[in-house]
Structure 1
Amino acid sequence: MFTGIVEELGKVQRVSRGSREQRIIISCKSILEDIHLGDSIAVNGVCLTVVEYNTVGFSADVMNETFSRSSLGTLTSGSKVNLERAMASNGRFGGHIVSGHIDGTGIIKSIRRDSNAVWFEIGTDDFILDGIVEKGSIAIDGISLTVAEIGKKTFKVSIIPHTLDVTVLGSKKIGDKVNLENDVIGKYVKKYLT
């Protein structure tokens, strides 16, 4: 389980997609302070398992399913990624419950500055929009955010400068693909009611 509070911006060193191995290698610093084989790390909101690590980064195996259903398939050497270790039971819960199992992807439709905030409008599929509530939580590339507005085919979030500075959202452009995870409690309520 994660909280959606990004700990560090990592950098993709290599993405290998062969017939025998599909792996992503990421350089980072602070999350290496407490990392072990088998640990879960959210990479742009996608829960991956550490299979190797050293003093400059870690590696994780990635399945075809994960590449095709997330934005990880668009990553290349040099891409920046949001990183978060699984929540420690004695840690603060600063965001919301994030599983690291994304529901799908969205496309950035517009980016608009509003004083010190920046509005992002994200287009996505109906089944994801159906699980979003205004003023509720959503994880975009693993970042815990509050939904500010919902339209027929899009939703909007308003981002503060700090979040832009410490996450990949600060470098995103119109047309970029992002990973989306609806609020897990809302998903269970929706499933129960149907």
Structure 2
Amino acid sequence: MFTGLIAELGRVEWVEERTGATRIRVAAPTLAAKLAEGDSIAVSGVCLTALAITPERFEADLAKETIARTSLSRLQPGTVVNLELPTPAGTPLGGHVVQGHVDGVGHVRALKAVAEAAAGESDWLLEFTAPAEVARYVVAKGSITVEGISLTVAAVTHQPGGEASVTIAVIPHTYAVTNLHTLGPGSELNLEADVLAKYSEQRARLERHEASNLSEEMLIAAGF
């Protein structure tokens, strides 16, 4: 489990297509030294397995499913990625519960400074589209994971087709220490909905199903 608090910005050194999987190597001078072979690490919101680790870099395999369903399909040498290690049990939950399981890919509509200010001092507004499989769980003031970052939804407009337009306020610190400052209109974004919203939906669905199966005989047998 992760919390969506980015620990380091990594940089992709190379991408190599291999039989059965695509291998990437990521420079991560801070986190690589903390990894052991087979450890999990979130790369821009995608939980991957660290391989071929050295003190300053690691490698990871991308399955075809990962390539097809995440923004990691756009990786190339020089791409900046958000990195986070799993949260140890018993430590404070600084963001929200993040699984590293991408639900869908959104696209940046705009990323603009709120006010004219010196570099690193302005808030930013990130506007992006969310596909229907993510949009159903997005609510104003709720949590959403964008490129592995735990963020709070400022506004959401649901569209007739099921998609949504989402706006998020980004503080200067988050803009500076994540890969958001490298993105522009049209950039792909890994999106993960709040898992609590998914469980709530499932619970409500099960309750509706149980209610629809009630009969007079069942109520009498239960003492009603």
Q: Report the TM range for the smaller structure's normalisation.
A: over 0.9
2:178 maps to: 167
- Select the residue among 127, 136, 141 that pairs with 2:133: 127
SS in 2 for 1:151: strand
Q: Work out the CA distance in 1 between the residues paired with 2:134 and 2:112.
A: 23
Distance apart, 1:20 and its partner CA: 4.4
Please state whether the residue corresponding to 1:59 is helix, strand or coil.
strand
Give the Å deviation of 1:162. 0.3
| Deviation for aligned residue 1:38 | 1.2
1 CA distance for matches of 2:169 and 2:49? Answer: 31
The amino acid of 1:186's aligned partner reads A
Q: Secondary structure of 2:50's match?
A: strand
Structure 1 stretches of at least 4 aligned residues deviating more than 3 Å after TM superposition: none
Q: Which residue of 1 aligns with 2:142?
A: 136
Higher radius of gyration, 1 or 2: 2
Q: 2:118 matched to which residue of 1? A: none
Cα offset, 1:32, TM superposition:
2.2
1:108 alignment partner in structure 2: 108
Cα RMSD after superposing both structures: 1.1
Q: Distance in 2 between matches of 1:127 and 1:53?
A: 35
Q: Which residue of 1 aligns with 2:193?
A: 182
Unaligned runs of 5+ in 2: 116-121, 159-163, 206-224
Q: Render the CA deviation track for 1:108-146: whole Å, top value 9, x for unaligned.
A: 012222132111111121221111111010000000000
Q: Quick check: 2:104–2:133 contact (8 Å CA) kept in 1? A: no
Shift of 1:29: 1.2
User: How many percent identity over aligned positions?
Assistant: 38
Structure 1 gaps of 5+ residues are none
